[in-house]
């Protein structure tokens, strides 16, 4: 169980790993290739793996009313935080690091 801004989410291990990685690199536009290399490593994955996991994370957060945390940077990849533009930072302020208890605070 993972909590995002108090919202309890059931995440698969790679969904959590991806969210954690994005939050640790908030404000940075991350290419799919970098996410694949750093989150999935040497595991065999398909070319759309990152997109599928991002879509699932967004859907789970949106079910609880948490929107626009993970933003798409067209032609680049994904980001969380200031590189996503003012809408994300206005809506959520600063994103705290993921705690050891697998909680994520949006402040």
Render pLDDT for 26-43 as a digit per residue (tens, 0 to 9): 999 999 999 999 999 988
Beta-bridged to residue 8, according to DSSP, are 3
pLDDT digits (tens, 9 = 90+) for 45-91: 887 999 999 999 999 988 888 888 899 999 999 999 754 443 333 23
Tokens of 96: 């705290």
The domain of 82 spans 2-104
106 or 2, greater pLDDT: 2
pLDDT digits (tens, 9 = 90+) for 18-29: 999 998 999 999
Tokens 């994300």 appear where?
88
Task: Give the CATH number of the domain where residue 9 resides.
Answer: 1.10.10.10
- Name the domain count of the chain: 1
Widest Cα–Cα separation across the chain? 38
């Amino acid at each position: 169980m993972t909590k995002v801004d108090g919202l309890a989410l059931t995440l698969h291990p790679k969904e959590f790993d991806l969210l954690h990685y994005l939050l640790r690199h908030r404000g940075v536009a991350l290419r799919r290739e970098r996410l694949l290399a750093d989150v999935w490593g040497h595991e065999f994955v398909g070319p759309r793996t990152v997109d599928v996991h991002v879509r699932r994370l967004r859907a789970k957060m949106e079910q609880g009313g948490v929107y626009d945390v993970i933003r798409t940077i067209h032609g680049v990849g994904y980001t969380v935080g200031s590189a996503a533009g003012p809408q994300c930072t206005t809506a959520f302020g600063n994103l705290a690091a993921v705690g050891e208890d697998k909680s994520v605070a949006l402040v």
